Structure 1
Amino acid sequence: MDIASKSIEELQELMKGYGQGGFRGKQLFEWLHQKMVRSYDEMTNLPLTLREQLARDFPIRSMKIVKKYESKLDGTIKYLFECEDSHIIESVLMRYKHGNSVCISSQVGCRMGCKFCASTLEGLVRNLTPSEMVSQIYLIEQDIKERVSNIVVMGSGEPLEHFELTKRFVELINSPQGQNIGQRHITVSTCGLVPRIKELAESLPQVTLAISLHAPTDEGRRRIMPIAYQYSIQELMDACAYYVEKTGRRITFEYALIYGENDSEEEARILGKLLKGLLCHVNLIPVNKIEERDYKESSVSHIQRFVKVLEEYHIPATVRRKLGSDIDAACGQLRRRYIKKRGE
């Protein structure tokens, strides 16, 4: 495991192996995660010989910003990062009155195959390490010279597919010796990996869960989300009920409204009946256009009717404001365009 993915306890043990006191592990962790440095040369309170040994044994993985697109409409910034192995990932900074939110990626590509998402078109390349996940936040904070207060793990990838890596990421970013971002300010999204939802409830009960639902029936989900062949709507709802019972926290259901596909009044009523009585909120998202798909976003009248039906079932719902629409800020679009231009 790379040095910046290790916990304080692991770094303390590492330092003891070098004949150093355990306190050196805490110092090293603070350099990596509080001061966000990426060179041992800057770690001036560590002995020079130790820094030289660490540089030989544990080179710090580098990541850099290769492209940055800023919306003229709302200040949203889309970042393309290049990992040490030249793979490209993306993150989005969204500015709100309550603070800065960052949507980060958890994988290079994605294997889930959701039809409305550009991230999955080339499949999964690899998982990101916990240090690569936190680095997206650190580089953005250093770029804008402001703190990030909320994190959404909803970029490229399925974060619950590699749950242990996502769990470690949460622990790193939540650490008081690091950025100390509270778990209640972290949202983890999933397309519906039922066993992992239960594991999230048990291991990280303060983290907010977001479910990519996008259709209220098994038939509808299977048309656009291959994961629905593995887990039924009923299995997913049972896992959601378990999460709410275990954590007492509200679930967000993400629902991309696709014209003529999942936006009818009948589907709104099925969704209302499905979610009635569950502690939840529905986030309705007009679908983003992807060149390779012919999906169109719902009309304003369809969206308004959908919201009204959910209100009849006492299901709180909001229509997500489209941020960064002038820079293609939806997941996967800019990365895909950049890679094509680079000739990969």
Structure 2
Amino acid sequence: MEQAKHPIDIRSLSLAELQEAFSELGQPAFRAKQVHEWLVQKNARSFEEMTNLPKALRAELAERYSIAAPVEVMKQVSRDGSRKYLLQFADGVAVETVGMPSRNRLAVCISTQAGCAMGCAFCATGLAGLTRSLTAQEMVDQVTHVAQDFGERVTSVVLMGQGEPFANYDASIRALRMLNDPEGLNIGARHLTVSTSGIIPRIRDFARIPEQFTLAVSLHSAVQSTRNQLMPGVKKYTLLRLHEALQFYTETTGRRPTYEYAMIEGVNDTNPEMQALCDFCEGTLCHVNLIQLNDIPDSPFRPSPLKKVEDLQRRLASRGVETTIRNSRGADIDAACGQLKQRQIRLRKA
């Protein structure tokens, strides 16, 4: 007996795809626009909410399509106002997402995969490995969930949560375009940032797309042996090749990549390590974010003292490299960089 197929999530269709589907149903084009507005701007969770649609059309849509929005399993609120959510999708897989308010802005850090296969030694996400990649809609769902919970418009999104975005490249780019879409959430391209551990072929692909999305690279060491220890998942992409790919990126786009550098006591905060980072950055278009490593239970790594972080900032500045010491948000609820975990839960069946 053939297994029944799950209906398509209607939110995965673009406005153009909706218009085509409605044309096949014999419906006027404006109906597709109405449904799109309900889904994107009003965050509708059922067809019954779409009160300006005829009842018969709502029933037909409910037969053909689903609205498979994630369920909030848990929410934690940090002292700094950040909120961390555990969101569960229809198949029982869950990911963590963080909303970070600041004055009149709201930034969201989203996951692109459930878990991660990169195995970075200082990151909690990869401890349980990779469960699966997320769809573009599941990425966008995280943003709309946070916006609805805060009751505010999201002004920026970073793909820095669980997973390696460039290991799920096509879905990540589609999600960025959905977030950027003037008919959608209309978030400016330069306020949409992808963080990669350094998958070189995808950095080159990213340089060639027309949108002005922002690139961040998790660097963490400019000494090959140290980086191999910290980031075994990108061992095959050497620092020399990474440097060349980033030069290609800046020459092709004219945009400045950001290097993330989590400072780990006795590992990447020594004099040779600092010298290597300065050499890697000097004379290139880049910005360095220095971060004191966030604590992870049972990890052998400890954050560098603040004076070491400030010393590295001075050294980079003396070489003409723009540098910021970044304050982590949500560390008290394990919502800061490297602290998001893959939760193995199955509270409801698909």
Q: Counterpart of 2:204 in structure 1: which amino acid?
A: K
For residues 223 and 334 of structure 1, the distance between their equivalents in structure 2, rounded to whole angstroms, comes to: 21
**Cα shift at 1:42:** 1.3
For residues 96 and 321 of structure 1, the distance between their equivalents in structure 2, rounded to whole angstroms, comes to: 13
Give the aligned partner of residue 315 of structure 1: 321
Give the aligned partner of residue 34 of structure 2: 27
Give the aligned partner of residue 95 of structure 2: 89
Q: Which runs of 5+ in 1 are unaligned?
A: none
**Cα shift at 1:341:** 12
**Cα shift at 1:105:** 0.6
**Cα shift at 1:93:** 1.3
Match for residue 248 of structure 2 among 239, 242, 246: 242
Is 1:77 matched with 2:79?
no
Give the aligned partner of residue 296 of structure 1: 302
**Cα shift at 1:294:** 0.8
Is 1:161 matched with 2:159?
no
For residues 117 and 42 of structure 2, the distance between their equivalents in structure 1, rounded to whole angstroms, comes to: 34
Contact 2:94 2:345 in 1 (8 A): no
Q: Counterpart of 2:179 in structure 1: which amino acid?
A: I
Match for residue 233 of structure 2 among 227, 237, 260: 227
**Cα shift at 1:95:** 2.0
Q: Which runs of 5+ in 2 are unaligned?
A: 1-7
Give the aligned partner of residue 3 of structure 1: 10
Give the aligned partner of residue 130 of structure 1: 136
SS of the residue 1:283 aligns to: strand
Q: Counterpart of 1:127 in structure 2: which amino acid?
A: S
**Cα shift at 1:333:** 4.0
- Using a 3 Å threshold, how does the CA distance of structure 1 residues 54 and 280 change in structure 2: closer, same or farther? same
Contact 2:115 2:341 in 1 (8 A): no
Q: Deviations over 1:13-44 (max 9, x none)?
A: 11122222333333222221111112111122
Counterparts of residues 39-188 of structure 1 (less than 5 Å): 39-72=46-79, 74-97=80-103, 99-188=105-194
Q: Counterpart of 1:119 in structure 2: which amino acid?
A: T
**Cα shift at 1:266:** 1.8
Please report the RMSD computed on the Cα atoms of aligned residues, expressed in angstroms. 1.9
**Cα shift at 1:340:** 8.1
Match for residue 14 of structure 1 among 17, 21, 37: 21
For residues 155 and 229 of structure 1, the distance between their equivalents in structure 2, rounded to whole angstroms, comes to: 21
Q: Counterpart of 2:278 in structure 1: which amino acid?
A: G
Q: Deviations over 1:203-235 (max 9, x none)?
A: 254000000011102211101112332211111
Is 1:267 matched with 2:273?
yes
Contact 2:92 2:346 in 1 (8 A): no
**Cα shift at 1:334:** 5.7
Contact 1:205 1:246 in 2 (8 A): no
Percent identity (aligned): 44
**Higher alpha-carbon deviation: 321-330 or 22-31:** 22-31
SS of the residue 2:72 aligns to: strand
TM-score (norm 2): 0.92
TM-score (norm 1): 0.93
